[in-house]
Structure 1
Amino acid sequence: MKDISCKLLVIGAGPGGYVCAIRAAQLGVDTIIVDAVPRPGGTCLNIGCIPSKALIHAADEFAAAAERATGDSLGISAGKPQINLAQTMEWKAAIITRLTGGVSGLLKKAGVKRVTGPARFRDGRTIEVETDTGVQVIHTANVVIATGSSPAELATLPFGGPVITSTEALALTEVPASLAVIGGGYIGLELGTAFAKLGAKVTVIEAAKRILPQYDADLTRPVTRRLKDLGVKVVCDTKAIGLTGKGMLQIDGPEGESRIKAGKVLVTVGRRPVTDGWGREELALEMDGPYLRIDQHCQTAMRGVYAIGDVTGEPMLAHRAMAQGDVVARIVAGQKMQWDKQAIPAVCFTDPEIVTVGLSPDQARESGREIKTGVFLLSANGRAMTMQANQGFVRVLARADNHLVLGIQAVGKGVSELSAAFSLALEMQARLEDVAATVHAHPTLGEALQEAAMAALGQALHA
């Protein structure tokens, strides 16, 4: 097979990789993208963000129908619902096919050449790809490593059989009678909540003192209450030891060892960057713990070799990878850019949802500055009440001296859609007065942001 060359080679067609390739090609850069699988989109589109949100939506619809089997406060009643999970998965698959097909079309329209197969570095400027028709050698001036991450495995619970990752959980065609979720982070709670709504008996085992330890306790309390309402058993300060028999999981907690029934065991203890398998040892790269070390231009220790997304560290979020990919594409095209995003939103699609942007209360206090805080309860928001979603709040943190907004958090139904407004406020370096003076449409959940800012200024209207 004849060697080919390009100015930019992107390894990995996930959100960061394909965005980088499209933007670079739009800017006139001769670009090739390589991925081991033929469908672009990476984990997010194929086995992560999108399919999990589809399952969550289906579970929400099923739970709403189930609540109306005996009538509800709206005066709506219906028969007992049933779910054909295999059909739900077909619907989910159709969404994935449409989105990945759209990405393929965008790559083609931009003029990006695609090569399918595992990639491996020979050196910093030469990569070989094992395609179905032979080894394709590619010479390039610049490389972007966007190899993503994979589920972390527990030594005591190796994957296989009843022990599954989120990938297998999102491909189940029947609702398991019992499900043990190892890890009370966002992945485990999102999927665990969904399956609980679909009828599974769910137990969450978390090694930390409480679930979602990356968020402050005020944000997680409504989630904890909702899990209890759904019948989800949460066991904290506890570790999973291993399977001891058919459908039995051994755990060790404050009260000693015990067993719980678990037809399926979903392990969600984090994700690890994919830093092996593509020839890293052939390159003079520096590591930052398990991640590739990059500078403010997303460049590694080797000139012309860039890295973006999960392989570069936290936060391991698709939108962070996309933003990094856009920056690197512009740098390769000759523009003066650097990676300095200060406002990257994090969204937990639990019930209720959690959104955080910027500094948390603890981080703000650790800065040493005096802080102003404003909180507005969704129980006083008209739109939330009409949606039967009045549990939760919006909170704004700002410097006391100049009122510069440092962080915004929210918990409640549908608050994920407020993340863009939260991020914009921080990205534009808004002050409390800016947010408070912005006219917010009524009735909307967004009014809670305005009200929280006014509360921080001591000018609350509806609190």
Structure 2
Amino acid sequence: MEEIVTKLIVIGGGPGGYVTAIRASQLGVPTILVEETQPGGTCLNIGCIPSKALIHVAEAYHQARSREAQSPFGLSVSGAQLDFGKSIAWKDGIVARLTSGVTGLLKKYKAALLIGRAELIDGKTVVVQSATGAKRIRAEHVVIATGSRPAALPNLPFGDKVISSTEALSLNGVPASLAIVGAGYIGLELGTALAKLGASVTVVEATDKILPTWDAELTRPVAARLEALGIRVLTGARALGLSTKDGSLEVLENGAVHATALSVDRILVAVGRRPRTEGFGLDRLDLDMDGSFIRVDDRCMTSMRDVWAIGDVTGEPMLAHRAMAQGEMVAELIAGRRRRFDPAAIPAVCFTDPEIVSAGLSPADAKAAGHEVVVATFPFVANGRAMTQDDDAGFVRVVANALDERVLGIQAVGREVSELSATFGLALEMGARLQDIAATIHTHPTRGEALQEAALRALGHALHL
């Protein structure tokens, strides 16, 4: 077996892993990145990027179809058609370009990429089964960045008509009918896209509302759009499994005595994600765990010296940008710099229709934390840019401490509000107060003006409301 010695080995080539490898190499740390398939991980290959591509295709097709009747501004379109095969090929082309780009960056900064299956032997040794044979790698530092996988349900195992988000993003065609188990962001993003592409969609959610982790004020416009799209939503409903009689999905609705049968072509199980902690020898290490996640401190160090963990495997929020920030920090720590992971906010986005973005504390969270709060919203119905886009649903909301006017959280729901997430995060990271935002000149006409107007309203003098 070939023996290799290096300073750093990173297990997992997703956003967290490849950023760790790139940054460490930039700082002169000899690094090997091990990835089982191809760099980019779930996000780039079978998650964030392909799903957003599918969402774009679906929206473009939906807009064209909706213009078969003349629009308010005089546009009419007839005979809109979609070659779904070409759509998937376009999506795959984007993924390939980005994957190639990551590979090129690793090469540029001289981070070694090893494609193969990694197995931990101890806290310093990893054996990799690659196409060119087994390799034993000894390293001073090990970074575990193995990510997560779709969570399965015991009564609805993946296979045949029951699919995960991975299969949903590589369908050969749009199913005529689809049931989605779980009304979280994954289920609603994909369900909305497939409904716009022509599928008849039913959502089954066990709790009493869609997007259970988001507050009701933010999810209300999304619920309205789901209804407008003809998506059937069953809340307080439990998926029992497949009927042995005809393979339909049996659902027990809230308060019902007998199950309802949903006869559908596909069943997408979207009940969350689970950390990848099995299959690569993690049990050989004496690591403290936090449930199913690896416990880390504010430097992403585990309970074993020089063994680090980042990204989804360390817990919520399971977001690619969190993993990337952690990876950059760990690389700098290994290179001898002083860092710790202490972000003021990690913005989260739900790419539904309309989109939702949240950074910092919600009004309820702020009150629960003991703050006396002032909350103000500014609706897009009073925003010029939203009007000119013929989509004025939603608003921007600011949550601030009533005593010193320090901004505690910013949320928004509306078209393309994901693009405001960096602004929200920056305001919180810089410790902005309401007056800082209100006094900042915002470009007109943009949706970003709604942030300034919300701050002005919180101060008692909104200009356009």
Normalised-by-shorter TM-score class: over 0.9
Letter aligned with residue 147 of structure 1 = T
**3-state DSSP class of the match of 1:70?**
coil
CA distance in structure 1 between the aligned counterparts of 2:191 and 2:83, rounded to whole angstroms: 18
**Structure 1 residues 73-112: aligned runs within 5 Å:** 73-112=72-111
Residues 309-352 of structure 1: per-residue CA shift (max 9 Å, x gap): 00000000000000000000000000000011121000000000
* Alignment match, 1:218: 217
Q: TM-score, normalised by structure 2?
A: 0.98
Contact preservation (8 Å) 1:86, 1:172: no
Residues 386-412 of structure 1: per-residue CA shift (max 9 Å, x gap): 001211000000101111100000000
Contact preservation (8 Å) 1:184, 1:206: yes
Deviation at 1:82, TM superposition (A): 1.7
Residues 17-46 of structure 1: per-residue CA shift (max 9 Å, x gap): 000100000001000000111x20000000
**Structure 1 residues 221-300: aligned runs within 5 Å:** 221-244=220-243, 245-246=245-246, 248-254=248-254, 255-256=256-257, 257-300=259-302
Deviation at 1:72, TM superposition (A): 1.4
Residues 242-280 of structure 1: per-residue CA shift (max 9 Å, x gap): 111445210011223111121100000000000111111
CA distance in structure 2 between the aligned counterparts of 1:285 and 1:110, rounded to whole angstroms: 31
Letter aligned with residue 137 of structure 1 = R
* Alignment match, 2:402: 400
* Alignment match, 2:13: 13
Residues 157-188 of structure 1: per-residue CA shift (max 9 Å, x gap): 00000000011110012110000000000000
**3-state DSSP class of the match of 1:445?**
coil
Which deviates the most, 443-452 or 72-81? 72-81
**Structure 1 residues 64-143: aligned runs within 5 Å:** 64-143=63-142
**3-state DSSP class of the match of 2:100?**
helix
**3-state DSSP class of the match of 2:325?**
helix
* Alignment match, 1:411: 413
* Alignment match, 1:344: 346
Structure 1 gap ranges (5+): none
**3-state DSSP class of the match of 2:142?**
strand
* Alignment match, 1:205: 204
* Alignment match, 1:453: 455
* Alignment match, 2:31: 31
* Alignment match, 1:53: 52
Letter aligned with residue 338 of structure 1 = R
CA distance in structure 2 between the aligned counterparts of 1:306 and 1:416, rounded to whole angstroms: 31
**Structure 1 residues 373-388: aligned runs within 5 Å:** 373-388=375-390
Q: Which runs of 4+ in 1 moved over 4 A?
A: none
Letter aligned with residue 242 of structure 1 = G
Contact preservation (8 Å) 2:2, 2:134: no
**3-state DSSP class of the match of 2:454?**
helix
CA distance in structure 1 between the aligned counterparts of 2:247 and 2:60, rounded to whole angstroms: 29
Letter aligned with residue 388 of structure 1 = D
Deviation at 1:220, TM superposition (A): 0.4
Letter aligned with residue 332 of structure 1 = I
Percent identity over paired residues: 57
Deviation at 1:51, TM superposition (A): 0.2
Letter aligned with residue 3 of structure 1 = E
CA distance in structure 2 between the aligned counterparts of 1:51 and 1:2, rounded to whole angstroms: 37
Letter aligned with residue 302 of structure 1 = M
Find out whether 1:43 has 2:42 as its counterpart.
Answer: yes
Over the residues paired in the alignment, what is the CA RMSD in angstroms? Answer: 0.8
Contact preservation (8 Å) 1:204, 1:235: yes
* Alignment match, 1:332: 334
Residue 430 of structure 2: which of 428, 431, 434 is its match?
428
* Alignment match, 1:176: 175
Letter aligned with residue 121 of structure 1 = L
CA distance in structure 1 between the aligned counterparts of 2:367 and 2:403, rounded to whole angstroms: 14
CA distance in structure 1 between the aligned counterparts of 2:251 and 2:89, rounded to whole angstroms: 35
Letter aligned with residue 298 of structure 2 = Q
CA distance in structure 2 between the aligned counterparts of 1:335 and 1:430, rounded to whole angstroms: 28
**3-state DSSP class of the match of 2:88?**
helix
* Alignment match, 2:192: 193
CA distance in structure 1 between the aligned counterparts of 2:222 and 2:371, rounded to whole angstroms: 30
Deviation at 1:292, TM superposition (A): 0.2
Contact preservation (8 Å) 1:190, 1:349: yes
Deviation at 1:107, TM superposition (A): 0.3
**3-state DSSP class of the match of 2:127?**
strand
**3-state DSSP class of the match of 2:201?**
strand
* Alignment match, 2:4: 4
Contact preservation (8 Å) 1:54, 1:92: yes
**3-state DSSP class of the match of 1:69?**
coil
**3-state DSSP class of the match of 2:2?**
coil
Residues 297-317 of structure 1: per-residue CA shift (max 9 Å, x gap): 100000100000000000000
Deviation at 1:2, TM superposition (A): 2.3
* Pairs aligned (count): 462
**3-state DSSP class of the match of 2:6?**
strand
Deviation at 1:80, TM superposition (A): 2.5
Letter aligned with residue 405 of structure 1 = V
Find out whether 1:148 has 2:147 as its counterpart.
Answer: yes
Deviation at 1:70, TM superposition (A): 2.1
Residues 85-132 of structure 1: per-residue CA shift (max 9 Å, x gap): 111000000000000000000000010011111111111001000112
Structure 2 gap ranges (5+): none
Letter aligned with residue 23 of structure 1 = R
CA distance in structure 2 between the aligned counterparts of 1:204 and 1:342, rounded to whole angstroms: 34
